[in-house]
Amino acid sequence: MTLLRRTFCTWLGAASAAALCALGAPAHAAGASAANPAWPTRSISVIVPFGAGSSPDVMSRIVIEHAAQSLGQSMVVLNRPGASGNIGTHAIAKAAPDGYTIGVSITGPLVNNPLMDANLPYRPERDLQPITLAVHQYNLLVVPADSPLKHLDDLLAAARAPQSRLNFPSTGAGTVSHLAVELLMARAQGQALHVPYPSSPAAVTSLLNGDTQFAALPPVAVMPMIQGGKLRALAAVSAQRMAALPDVPTVAELGYPGIEGSGWIGFVAPAGLNAQVLARLNAALTQALQDEAVRQRLSGMHMQPAPGTPEDFARYLQQESQRWAPVIERLGLAAQPTTAAPLNAPKNTPEATPPTTDPTATSKTP
């Protein structure tokens, strides 16, 4: 059985209030249908599986400030960082599906990490309910400003050379900044050596120091260097051009469609959520993401709002799985089950592990 079939029965099944994945519903889902029609009657916790100041954290605070007004209740960010987002995402999955605990997550915990780690204590397509995709952060393919590689064709010609010496950094094995380049190299029949770094700033520094020759990194990391004349963008790793760099073509325009390296962020809830509660959450969050003031704030951080229905988000998650699973398998990153101790996270008891809370994280109604 392939990695993709073994790992994902269907995200689209998870998007339906009446259907769960064939792997079986979590134990707490059975009583979820009797949700209080008066919901919400108290504040809503929003778990962010990364630290304060991270992109998911900042995005969440901006969006829930507006969404809280629509729902008539406070929404409070709870930061639960650790294990590349797996700890916080597990906490979302194990929360009661009553609409009072939701969260955000990203490509790693929702798509790539489950493909690479068979021992994760949650299965996203079984244990989580998509609410809405929130934003895209499409990577940019960049080189140092003084690089002789002036265009994507130059880069790929160098990668096809018999003695290719190209190195590229990423923010870690299996991240979008790694897999997008590997997919491009495979499509173009080129080769380059992957050098993982612990962060985007470290990856950028490797470019500036000449340790690596090109990279596909998020705009928040590279735009200051592009604007400062230290890096040059060859292409946007997306289907559409970026508003901030309208003259930079996409990899799709240059002959390589289907390679979308987006560091997207989306809202999710525990599986088994009442359909009416799901609809209200989706409406409040999508309205917030469509608000002009919210969009301007997100655009200032090079985030592209992408709200939609739960089914839209589920469909996109399945597309991401289909995009990255073959790459992960080809690179030998797909982990097999071991006897390793499972990742721990509280089950239905948010108080069990005191989260990092911040007074500024509360979004209150007027």
pLDDT confidence tier of residue 27, bands split at 50, 70 and 90: very low
DSSP 250: B
Alpha-carbon gap, residue 89 to 42, rounded angstroms: 22
Alpha-carbon gap, residue 82 to 89, rounded angstroms: 10
Q: What is the pLDDT of residue 337?
A: 58
Q: What's this model's pTM, rounded to 2 decimal places?
A: 0.83
Alpha-carbon gap, residue 327 to 24, rounded angstroms: 28
Q: What is the pLDDT of residue 253?
A: 96
Cα distances from 44 to residues 26, 63, 73, 92, in angstroms, run 21, 14, 7, 12
pLDDT for 131-171, tens place per residue?
A: 999 999 999 999 999 999 999 999 999 999 998 899 999 99
pLDDT confidence tier of residue 13, bands split at 50, 70 and 90: low
pLDDT for 245-299, tens place per residue?
A: 999 999 999 999 989 889 999 999 999 999 999 999 999 999 999 999 999 999 9
For the chain, what is the mean pLDDT? Answer: 86
The domains located in the chain, with CATH, are 3-17+42-136+263-363 (3.40.190.150), 140-236 (3.40.190.10)
Average pLDDT over residues 53-62: 95
Residue 66 in tokens: 């507006």
- 94 or 8: which leads in pLDDT: 94
Q: What is the pLDDT of residue 25?
A: 39
Alpha-carbon gap, residue 312 to 318, rounded angstroms: 10
Spatial CA neighbour of 217 closest among 277, 148, 170: 170
